[in-house]
Amino acid sequence: MLRFVDIDQAYPEKRSEAERRQDFNEIYRPFDPVKAKDQASRCSQCGIPFCQSGCPLHNNIPDWLMLAGEGRLEEAYEISSATSTMPEICGRICPQDRLCEGSCVVEKSGHGAVTIGAVEQYITDTAWKEGWVKPIRPGAPRGASVGIVGSGPAGLAAAEKLCEAGYAVTVYERSDRAGGLLMYGIPGFKLDKAVVQRRLDRLTEAGVDIRTGFEVGRDATMADLRNEHHAVLLATGVYAARQLTCPGAGDGVIAALDYLTRSNRNDLGDAPDSGDRLSAKGKRVVVIGGGDTAMDCVRTAVRQGAASVTCLYRRDRENMPGSAREVKHAEEEGVVFEWLSSPLAVLTKGEAITAVRVQGMRLGAPDVSGRRAPEPEPGRTFDVGADMVISALGFSPEDIPVLFQAPDLETHRDGRIDGDMATKMTSLDGVFVAGDLHRGASLVVWAIRDGMDAARSIESYLSNRLQVLGAAE
């Protein structure tokens, strides 16, 4: 170990930009075993592991890096999977540059962070290949059931832990496939859908009942679910797109999730869309936004054969909320970034979009988030030619109390479901909340953390409730 002075930082080999633009396969080749072992050995084994505190799951990163560096991969997998239900997924899609790797002491020393995410993915992919990923072992039946609404990362993480604890678990998913954001929101070049499906299969093989095409509010009310189950977890995520409000931003502007969902369906082999509205082929595409969803959109447009792809973001590169690594990938693939740019209007000729008029911006004083607030720069406007405009401005919660016919379910002003910070219990007894629906649009790793925390709270709640019922009998 401690080889960061002798061994330079290295990631798995990336496929060439030209090759990547032709398909939706993951961009990294499998990590060479020798190189993966060397990269793991760069860990400095800090007395205070800042990488661990920088991880929302508080993964025991130094421990499994040490084991991987010694070639003890099965033991490394056991440590890695002890704190995460989806380590190979986090290894692929977490913005490590903002989390564990950004906190790495080796990074702070100027030697380049340990490539934690790539090693994490390598460990678990190897575990699947070698058969070390064992079936979920349901606990002894507890005589109680839990209904989970939503099959995204929060719902799936909770389902696994509750199954292990001995509860009968039913997951309700309104889409035709389970997986939520993991299946339909994240493109295959970042997360191969087979990686998600094997996690889903592992849950169903353990007895978790995943009901797709089931929409709460249409097929059952919240009251029905509470009567059916001893506890309910709300983990729907947030899917109401924030609207672009400049002149011309009408029906012609495409919501990011609509665009990504259609592309992922194509990748999964579903019947193609009858029209070409959601295809970027041959079009000048402008994506508005600066988060990871915007990066997914621009990189998808490249693969669909767009004539050009431009990303407009109102702040500069340093203040962009998305992963810096994703920006680099996008630039490699030909995406043009217009920093400090905000849409003034979407220009049309008849019903066809022709351009986006852009207001140049500059950074002023910090706002409440601590980042310098963008403000218009007088005298700087320009047009960017466009045939297709995609809005990737983030997401808000749907009106869950109305949709689920649960008027007593309390919400925050912005629509997030109000829940106790420690227990995740909502205003309805026995109803819990986890993931983006509670904290707002955030990272997959935070949703996994919330789902695991909610599972512990539900287990405690049901244990106490069953003891009271048993005493009463």
Query: Residue 90: pLDDT above 80?
Result: yes
Instruction: Decide if 145-238+397-472 and 240-391 have a common fold.
Output: yes
Task: Place 194 in a pLDDT band, splitting at 50, 70 and 90.
Answer: very high
Tell me yes or no: is domain 240-391 CATH 3.10.20.30: no
pLDDT one-digit tens code per residue, 42-63: 999 998 999 999 999 999 999 9
Average the pLDDT over 375-384 and give the result. Answer: 96
Q: Which pLDDT does position 2 carry in this prediction?
A: 72
Residue 442: other Cβ atoms inside 10 A: 15
pLDDT one-digit tens code per residue, 148-161: 999 999 999 999 99
Residue 422: other Cβ atoms inside 10 A: 8
Instruction: Kindly state the tokens that stand for 347.
Output: 């220009």
Q: Which sign does the torsion angle of CA 209, 215, 216, 219 carry?
A: negative
For residue 120, which amino acid is it?
E
pLDDT one-digit tens code per residue, 255-287: 999 999 999 999 999 988 767 899 999 999 999
Q: Which pLDDT does position 321 carry in this prediction?
A: 87
Query: Is residue 390 within 8 Å of residue 254, measured between CB atoms?
Result: yes
Residue 232 host element (H or E)? strand 231-234
Question: Could you tell me which CATH number the domain at 17-130 has?
Answer: 1.10.1060.10
Beta bridge partners of 268: none
Average the pLDDT over 213-232 and give the result. Answer: 98
Average the pLDDT over 321-331 and give the result. Answer: 92
Which of 176-185, 292-301, 361-370 has the least mean pLDDT? 361-370
Q: Give the angle 317-322-327 at the CA atoms, nearest 5°.
A: 60
Query: Residue 231: pLDDT above 60?
Result: yes
pLDDT one-digit tens code per residue, 427-443: 999 999 999 999 999 99
pLDDT one-digit tens code per residue, 2-35: 789 899 999 999 999 999 999 999 999 999 999 9
Residue 168 host element (H or E)? strand 168-173
Task: Place 401 in a pLDDT band, splitting at 50, 70 and 90.
Answer: very high
Question: Could you tell me which CATH number the domain at 145-238+397-472 has?
Answer: 3.50.50.60
Average the pLDDT over 409-422 and give the result. Answer: 97
Query: Is residue 69 within 8 Å of residue 1, measured between CB atoms?
Result: yes
Average the pLDDT over 109-134 and give the result. Answer: 97
Beta strands in 45-165, from DSSP E residues, in sequence order: 145-149
**Domain range annotation of the chain:** 17-130, 145-238+397-472, 240-391
Q: Is 225 helix (H, G, I), strand (E, B) or coil?
A: helix
Query: Residue 371: pLDDT above 90?
Result: no
Task: Place 322 in a pLDDT band, splitting at 50, 70 and 90.
Answer: confident
Query: Residue 184: pLDDT above 60?
Result: yes
Strand arrangement of the beta sheet that strand 254-255 belongs to: 254-255, 388-391, 284-288, 308-312, 336-338
Average the pLDDT over 187-191 and give the result. Answer: 98
Query: Residue 470: pLDDT above 70?
Result: no
Q: Which pLDDT does position 103 carry in this prediction?
A: 96
Query: Is residue 122 within 8 Å of residue 40, measured between CB atoms?
Result: no
For residue 19, give every residue at least 6 positions away whose Cβ sits within 8 Å of its Cβ, in sequence order, or none.
none
Task: Tell me the pLDDT of the chain averaged across its residues.
Answer: 95
Residue 202: other Cβ atoms inside 10 A: 18
